[in-house]
Each structure stands twice: as structure tokens, then as C-alpha cells.
Amino acid sequence: MAFPSHIFKAYDIRGIYGTEVTEALAYNIGRAFAEFMKKDQGKDTLTLVVCEDMRVSSPPLKKEVIRGLTEQGIDVVDIGLASTPTFYFGVAKYGYDGGIQITASHNPGQYNGFKMVRPAAGPISGETGIMEIRDMVEKGEFPSVEKTGTVTMRTGVIEDEVVYALSQVDISRIKPFTVVVDNANGMGSLVMEKLFAQLPCTLEKMYFELDGNFPNHDANPLIDENNTDIQKRVVETGADLGIALDGDSDRVFFIDNMGETVEPAIVRGMLAQVYLKDHPGGAVGYDVRPGKITEDMILEAGGKPFLTKVGHSLIKEESKKHNAIFSGESSGHFFIKADFGFFEMPALIVLQFLRVISESGKSVREYIEPLMKYAHSGEINFEVEDKTAVFERLKISYGEHLTQ
């Protein structure tokens, strides 16, 4: 079938609903993903998880993905509305063969797309399957199967996710903070409401209503102007801190008690030190974007830092090679190693952050201020016609400073 090939990206499939991402495409992606996974896993009998985010276009797309999967003989477990971390947890914790989520992450409401994983929520990236799936969709030739797959609904995944996070942290050590949480009308509210119900903290809710049109602000806390509302609320209410999540809740940012966003490199370093206490000498990954404080904190705790490319799928793949105990990306993705997978667990990240600040006896600003010793410009993006030529010029000018 015909489709714009640019929607098949490095980490997922994403485009404008109705013109680039259609029900017909969803159906064929379901069929292609089914055949890809059979080959990838070396077996014809598979059970895959399917779920959706809160976008208006997600239900019809999910329906067609499921139709495509089952027509190729795949058994589907539908876990309904779910954040990306809930999706990962559902695949990995219950031991399913993989899955596909209908989501466009933090993109505006007119977008939608598909995120796919292997067993243990292992990523499928442009380098490890997405482009192969694209080619299969384009060709449009799928084998017939003798038996159509089944569809089963599974509930309680969010509850299990919260229970797991709570089991990993001694919440009796968390102080009764006042915490403002901005869910940006995204999927995080389903988890955060249940999580904070178990904590001694006072929860100040912002934009918890699910709304795929994102009426209050874009669901991307990496762009600090999207954090203006929560920063203001933290200061006005005298809250101890704020938490901002993106549209599909796989990224988390923290706001200090002075109403300023905590640099993700500092959060990454804090969390690295948490996990290095339990895993001395462990490997910790971080992406190449600015964040020298992360390396300092990893080395200070006796860990082994390693650099990765940008992108959650690529970081996970590189972390697997290093047997990492924890990794973090400057965009707010934080990856935790569990006995069933290595992926984003924002509920657990929130608990660990609250515990660290509680045990320090300091405010968030007092804790992070000594760590704010490096200049940080924030992410700056450039559009160029020939990136290869630009990199070659940079190598010529600055090659002696390259670290890898």
C-alpha cells in the first residue's frame, strides 16, 4: 500500500491522523508486525499486548491493528487505556511475546502512531525492525493462516504497576511533601493518582483530565515554556516540588521549590547514585547531550559511566550491551533494570526522588544547588541540508577533542 515513508522513524511510527496515519495503515501494520514478530521470535504462536493512549483517533486505529494481528493468527491481550510505561510493564511483567501501543507520545493532538516492543519490552527501533516492518507494509503481501487469533481483555495492569513501584521503596521514609503534578491531560494521571493515594504527600493535581487535544499546553516538558503553569503553581502554593509528565508518561521532569525545572542531568546523577548503592561498580548510561554532572556523580559513587546515542530505543539497546543497572536521557527518559526488563518506570522514579530529598533533610533547591556547577544551554536543534558534511567539518576542526 502507499503511505508517506517518513512516518516510519528511528523509534516508532508517527504521523498526522487521517492523511498520514489511517485505519488502513493500522490494519496493515498489524499484519506486518505479526509476521515480523513470528520471524523475530522464531515461532508462529504468539501473544501480543495492545493498548491505546487518550487521543480521539486511538480507538479506531487500535481496532484495525487488532484486526490485522488476529487475521495473521496472533492472540491479542488488550489492556485498554495505558501509558507507555504501563504498556512496557504489561508486556514484561506478565511475560508476553511483545506488543504494540497506539500513541504519538508528546506530539500535538492531530498526530497518532504506533510503538512496538519485543519480549521484556525490548525496543524495536529503526535499526532493529521498524524499517523492515515498513517494507512489509509497502509490499502488502501476507501469508494466510489456518486459525484466527483471539482477543482477551486484561484489567488491573496499572494497579500492578503501582504495587511493584511501591514494593521497591520504603515509603515510610518519604516526608509529607506537598507535590504539584502536571499530567498535561496525558496518560500519567491514571498512574499518579493511584500512586499518590498510597503516599503521605499532599497531591496538587493539574490537568489530570484525559484529553488528546491537549487544551492547556503541549505535552512536552522538555520545552520549558510548557512548564510555566506548574512552575507558577509550585511557587503560589508553597509546594515542596512539582512533577511534569509528557503525553504518554514515559518522561518525567521535576520542578524545585523555587519554581525552576531541575536539570535532567542532575536528576539522572541522583538516580544513578541510588542504584549504585545497591549495585556497586555498576554501569550507568547517559546520552551525548550536555550533562557532565551526570558523569561526575556516577564516578563519585563508584560506577562505570558510558555514553550512548540519543533516543530511548538506542539507549536501551546500548544499555543491554553494557548490562547497565540504570540509564537516563536528557529528555527525561529514565530507565531502570528490573528482573523482568529494562525500561522507563516513572512511578518508581518519582518514589526514589521523593525518598532521596526526604532523607537529605533539605529542600529540593538546597539539595541540587551544589550540583548546579556547569553551564547548560538546554537543547539546541539545527536543520541542515547535509548532516554528513557538517559532521566531517566538525571532525576536522575539533577532532582532537572527540571522546569516542
Expressed as residue numbers, the domain containing 148 is: 5-155
Q: What is the mean pLDDT of the chain?
A: 96
Please tell me whether residues 248 and 269 are part of one structural domain. Answer: no
Please tell me whether residues 132 and 199 are part of one structural domain. Answer: no
What would the pLDDT profile of 10-36 be if each residue is shown by its tens digit?
Answer: 999 999 999 999 999 999 999 999 999
How far CA 381 is from CA of 84, 325, 345, in Å, comes to 26, 30, 27
- Measured between alpha carbons, how far is 150 from 137 in angstroms, rounded to an integer? 22
From the list 57, 105, 313, 330, the catalytic residue is: 105
- Residue among 264, 239, 246 at smallest CA distance from 254: 264
Exposed, middle or buried, 63 (CB in 10 Å: 0-12/13-18/19+)? middle
Predicted local distance difference test score (pLDDT) of residue 311: 79
Q: Buried (b) or exposed (e) across 108-132, using 16+ Cβ within 10 A?
A: ebbbbbbbbbbbbbbbbbbeebbeb
Please tell me whether residues 56 and 165 are part of one structural domain. Answer: no
Tell me, yes or no, whether 38 lies in a domain. yes
Predicted local distance difference test score (pLDDT) of residue 402: 65
What's the rounded mean pLDDT across residues 334-358?
98
Predicted local distance difference test score (pLDDT) of residue 288: 80
Decide if pLDDT at 401 tops 80.
no
Please tell me whether residues 118 and 228 are part of one structural domain. Answer: no
Pairing of strands 178-182, 151-153: unpaired
Please tell me whether residues 16 and 110 are part of one structural domain. Answer: yes
Last residue of a domain, one of 255, 274, 298: 255
- Residue among 9, 1, 208, 13 at smallest CA distance from 101: 13
Are the beta carbons of 10 and 314 closer than 8 angstroms? yes
Q: Say which residue the cell 539539595 belongs to.
A: 367
Please tell me whether residues 315 and 240 are part of one structural domain. Answer: no
Q: What's the domain count of the chain?
A: 3
397 flagged as catalytic: no
Looking at residue 343, which CATH number applies to its domain?
Answer: 3.40.120.10
Decide if pLDDT at 271 tops 60.
yes
Decide if pLDDT at 72 tops 70.
yes
Please tell me whether residues 139 and 203 are part of one structural domain. Answer: no
Lowest mean pLDDT among 214-223, 310-319, 338-347: 310-319
Task: Say which residue, 379 or 155, is predicted with more confidence.
Answer: 155
- pTM score of the predicted model: 0.94
Predicted local distance difference test score (pLDDT) of residue 403: 57
In degrees and rounded to multiples of 5, residue 229 shows phi and psi of -65, -45
Decide if pLDDT at 404 tops 60.
no
Please tell me whether residues 221 and 268 are part of one structural domain. Answer: no
First-to-final CA distance of the chain: 41
Please tell me whether residues 362 and 315 are part of one structural domain. Answer: yes
Are the beta carbons of 240 and 179 closer than 8 angstroms? yes
In degrees and rounded to multiples of 5, residue 48 shows phi and psi of -115, 145
Tell me, yes or no, whether 150 lies in a domain. yes
Are the beta carbons of 284 and 324 closer than 8 angstroms? yes
Please tell me whether residues 131 and 223 are part of one structural domain. Answer: no
Tell me, yes or no, whether 323 lies in a domain. yes
Pairing of strands 151-153, 99-102: unpaired
Please tell me whether residues 27 and 149 are part of one structural domain. Answer: yes
Tell me, yes or no, whether 279 lies in a domain. yes
Lowest mean pLDDT among 191-195, 361-365, 399-403: 399-403
